[in-house]
Structure 1
Amino acid sequence: MSWIDSIDPISAPVRRRLLSLPEQTVAKGAVLFRPGDAAQGFVMVLSGRIEVHLTGPSGREILLYAVEPGQSCVQTTLGLMAGEPYSGEALVATDARVVMIPRAMFLRLIDSEPGFRSFVMTALGRRMQDVTRLLEQVAFASIESRLAAALLDMSEDNLVHATQAELAARIGSAREVVTRRLDAFQRAGWVATDRGTVRLLDSGALKRAASLAP
């Protein structure tokens, strides 16, 4: 199945033009855009994960959302359609393969291809739901519940590979706050921490804490 199948129905000529676009490989750690940059094209993620962060005046960072195969970047969509510069930074979290639809082609397809327009608008709506959900979490959920939920979501075989700064960005808090909460989790016997890793010892307790989030 080709990546283009996710945006059917489209006309045969447009399908051929999209399939002719080159795939690009981007390495983990690459920065795709920074605040103030202008959107150059609409990126379709074929494999891997790209994370979009927002940094406040104080230097505190929050993970707005991640873009994985089949998902879209709301900042890019709004930048292409409204001409606004990026306010966040996109970092390649894992090695990834992408296809970029150039800005001029993207705008033509929005105007002329109902199937493509529907795909973009649906993806944008879903992404806006994700951002709204994040705002609800930051505004109404406690640090403990947000941190517990993040640990559960990020764990593989009960092990989380992330620094405390990365966890802080994930939940929209400060590293010092995350350090204190992790210490409390460790004293309670829920986790064991080491440099760059957190081992989950009591997933049930973490799930109960995470369930307090809205």
Structure 2
Amino acid sequence: MNTIIETNRNLLEDHPEVEDLLSPITEVVLASAQQVKIPAGARLIRETERCQNFMWLLQGTVRVFKHSPAGREITLYRVTPGELCALSMQCLLWDEGFPAEVVAETDLVALTLSRREFDRAIDESREFRRALLKILSKRMGDIVQLVSEVTFQRLDLRLACLLGQLFERSGGEPLKITHAQIARELGTTREMVSRILKEFENQQCVRLLRGVIHLVSREGLNWFVR
């Protein structure tokens, strides 16, 4: 059996969430996809660059973000195993430059398909086209929601929501995160984040240490999002 086909088949069997997504074009993926390993912190693509490959993530997390000329950043979304990068699809479909930047938050393992093979899969599989459009539609909805939050919601509310989500993921354990990292998530300045976090601490919602945030009162934190 061809080594590439055997390797790709084993990878898909180990990641059923990706295998289901790629089922309409299994033969193309088995024959043509390449496995790649990318270290944490690597920049996958810079703004205005063109996508040369389409990637299906098997392990790890990718952060897609936008930055301003002044150096501020805001996270648009993350890609985890079983998900696809909607902006990558857009750039490949329309041969456009990427409108944001992409970085590996953790070590990554992925399958990549060349632009030529991606175009062939789009042309030959109606089911694959429908699956991609469904993913693209959902991700665009997420971005519209983000724009709405940034435009219409107070920063303290957005910060309280973010902390609530992070503490939920950590099971209430302390968060090892800096004020600058939070600012990049929310598209604001470190000074603004520090001021609001100090207010949360004064209200006995959290306790702040250098590079660490402890949860004191989940109920108190929830009060800010009402």
> Structure 1 length as normaliser, TM-score?
0.91
1:135 pairs with 2:150 = no
Root-mean-square deviation (CA), in Å? 1.4
Q: Does 1:81 align with 2:81?
A: no
Cα deviation, residue 19, structure 1: 2.3
**Alignment partner, residue 171 of structure 2:** 157
Structure 2 residue 28 is the aligned partner of structure 1 residue 17: yes
For 1:81 and 1:64, locate their aligned partners in 2 and report how far apart those are by CA, in whole Å: 20
Whole-angstrom distance in 2 between the partners of 1:25 and 1:195: 33
Q: Work out the CA distance in 2 between the residues paired with 1:94 and 1:209.
A: 31
Q: TM-score, normalised by structure 2?
A: 0.86
Q: Does 1:126 align with 2:126?
A: no
Mapped partners of 2:186, 2:221: distance in 1? 15
CA-CA distance at 1:95 after TM superposition: 1.6
Structure 1 or 2: more helix by fraction: 2
Give the secondary structure class of the aligned counterpart of 2:36.
Answer: strand
Separation of aligned partners in 1, 2:36 and 2:219: 42
SS at match of 2:175: strand
Indicate whether 1:174 and 2:189 are aligned.
Answer: yes
Name the structure 2 match of 1:208.
Answer: 223
1:108 corresponds in structure 2 to 120
SS for the counterpart of 1:160 is: coil
* Percent sequence identity over aligned pairs: 29
Poorly superposed stretches of 4+, deviation over 4 Å: none
Report the Cα offset of residue 17 of structure 1: 2.7
CA contact (8 A) 2:48 2:99 kept: yes
Q: Is the 8 A contact 2:204 2:220 kept in 1?
A: no
Per the TM alignment, residue 194 of structure 1 is displaced from its structure 2 partner at its CA by 1.7
Contact 1:7 1:119 in 2 (8 A): no
Give the distance between the partners of 2:211 and 2:62, measured in 1 at CA.
20
**Separation in 2, partners of 1:135, 1:205:** 26
Structure 1 unaligned segments of length 5 or more: list them: none
In the other structure, the counterpart of 2:208 is 193
- CA–CA distance in 2 between the matches of 1:41 and 1:32? 11
Q: Is contact 1:72–1:127 with CA below 8 Å preserved after alignment? A: no
For the Cα contact (< 8 Å) 1:7–1:115, is it kept in 2?
Answer: no
Alpha-carbon distance, 1:68 to partner: 0.7
Of 21, 40, 57 in structure 2, the residue corresponding to residue 28 of structure 1 is 40
